[in-house]
Amino acid sequence: MLYLFIVWIGPKLMKNRRPFDLTWLMIPYNLAMAALNAYIVVRLLTASFRLRYSYICEPCRQRYDPDELQITEAVWWYYFSKLLEFCDTFFFILRKKNEQLTFLHVYHHSTMFSFWWIGIKWVPSGTTFLPAMVNSAIHVMMYTYYGLSVFGPRVSQYLWWKKYLTILQLIQFTCALVLAVNGIRTGCEFPLWMHYVLIVYMISFIVLFGNFYMKAYIAKV
């Protein structure tokens, strides 16, 4: 609620003010976020490999094996990263990039933080590791892109791969949707309501990110 209030009040407070130059802050922020997401990927990948986790269905068990705790710790850092990602929005507001404050952006940031609070509280291991790992891998590339793009036209002309990040995100959402449907079909030992919520949530992302991709890349051709 505080995040949504800031999104509402921020542009009003900045309306008659000059935009801030945050280059000095955005470069280390984006590169630090890329490093944090890389750390999450490595921790989840190594522990899940040693535990021989299934990529189709892995029930969340209350175990205190060091590798299970490593996964839980990494998932917590993933949840915490969603709090840090609110800075993306705050930077838009302070730089008066209000065109970037789209429904997709605000919906994505606000709901991810809320849903992953549920995840880390009730299902901090098991199949939960997979979306956290895949999404963090994409965020490594995304924040690396953002960090490099801050350097301006001299560097941004070589950053041709932005649209492929959106394609990877759409593939990620589709795979998560398929896994949720399969979880219901096979009776995967995971809270049933979470499967249904995930299906609805992934459909909303596919529609919103698909619409963004169409407008940003297809309509311009």
**Residue range 8-63, pLDDT digits in tens:** 999 999 999 999 999 999 999 999 999 999 999 999 999 999 999 999 999 988 88
SS3 41: helix
Residue 210 corresponds to which tokens in the numbers above? 């698909």
Catalytic residue from among 105, 108, 109, 139 = 108
State yes or no: pLDDT of 69 exceeds 90.
Answer: yes
Query: How far is CA 174 from its chain centroid?
Result: 15
N-terminal to C-terminal alpha carbon distance within the chain: 39
221 pLDDT band (50/70/90 cuts)? low
Nearest CA to 139 among 78, 214, 90?
78
Residue 58 corresponds to which tokens in the numbers above? 């892995």
Q: Supply the pTM of this predicted model.
A: 0.93
Q: What is the pLDDT of residues 86-138, one digit of tens each?
A: 999 999 999 999 999 999 999 999 999 999 999 999 999 999 999 999 999 99
Sheet strands (E) in the chain: none
Amino acid found at 29: Y
Active site residue 108: yes
Q: List the Cα angle 61/63/65 in 5-degree steps.
A: 135
220 pLDDT band (50/70/90 cuts)? low
